[in-house]
Amino acid sequence: MTDTLLLMAGVGYAYRGGAGVHDVDLEVRSGEVHALVGLNGAGKSTLMKLVLGMLRPQRGAIEVLGKKVGEADREVWRAVGAFVEHPLAYGELDASTNLALAARLHGVASRDVAGTVDAVLGELDLAKYSRVLVRRLSAGNAQRVGLAAALAHGPQLMVLDEPTTALDPAGIITLREALLRRAAAGAGVLVSSHHLDEVARIADRISVIAEGRMIGSLDPGGVDIERAFFSKVHAAVTR
């Protein structure tokens, strides 16, 4: 029986003006990649922020690793890896130092930090940039540093919002392999994207969001996934 790492039930959050997310049900289990796809403005980032406690739901409930988000303690958040909107890195520090700080903040013991940093630098093909200030890196490599910070501590749950936006094809493949390795080891991944072909390569489940509402799912192995996606979105927004 699989463990539920993330559970959202009837979750709603409305900004002034009405945009937001409405009555969202979503689950991420141990060992799976659950992809969330939608057009720009569909509510993907809002949903991710709710999962991470950056916003508090106005309706419904969210549980992360068995704890309600509002009651989650340091130990819960140490077991979560997050990438939302932009790389969380200090531009005046080099890549290695940024990753060492991220590892310590997530509870990695001091004696293990150096090995942890070296491992994730190698995994995301960042070793040659380890002593380069993040502000001097390309957008794609800065994004890799942010992703490395989210993955370095071996989180049980990863919440990644549009993680491939600035990555080149090699970077996308590198990230894909890293996420699949972690899922195979029992971690859970919630990833949002508008790159349908890419999420189809890694996702066990794909949920579609439009105008803040979950409107159905897509078969990762289905034929012409883009046509199926746009058909669902068109039906939802014209209803």
Predicted local distance difference test score (pLDDT) of residue 195 = 83
What one-character-per-residue DSSP string does 30-88 give? TT-EEEEE--TTSSHHHHHHHHTTSS--SEEEEEETTEEGGG--HHHHHTEEEE-SS--
Amino acid at 79: A
Amino acid at 141: N
Amino acid at 231: S
Q: What is the pLDDT of residues 10-67, one digit of tens each?
A: 999 999 988 999 999 999 999 999 999 999 999 999 999 999 999 999 999 999 999 9
d(CA 151, CA 126) in angstroms, rounded, equals: 13
Task: Spell out the alpha helix ranges (H) of the chain.
Answer: 44-51, 74-78, 95-105, 110-123, 139-151, 169-184, 196-202, 225-237
d(CA 193, CA 218) in angstroms, rounded, equals: 13
1 pLDDT band, cuts 50/70/90, is very low
Cβ(176)–Cβ(201) below 8 Å: yes
**Which are the contacts of 125, defined by CB distance < 8 A and separation ≥ 6?**
144, 170, 171, 174
d(CA 26, CA 139) in angstroms, rounded, equals: 31
Structure tokens given for 31: 């060992």
Amino acid at 134: V
Please report, rounded to a whole number, the percentage of residues in the chain having pLDDT higher than 70: 99
Cβ(69)–Cβ(51) below 8 Å: yes
Predicted local distance difference test score (pLDDT) of residue 2 = 55
Over residues 132-145, the mean pLDDT reads 96
106-139: b (≥16 Cβ within 10 Å) or e? bebeeeebeebbebbbebbbbeebbebebeebee
80 pLDDT band, cuts 50/70/90, is very high
Over residues 188-210, the mean pLDDT reads 93
What's the whole-number average pLDDT of the chain?
94
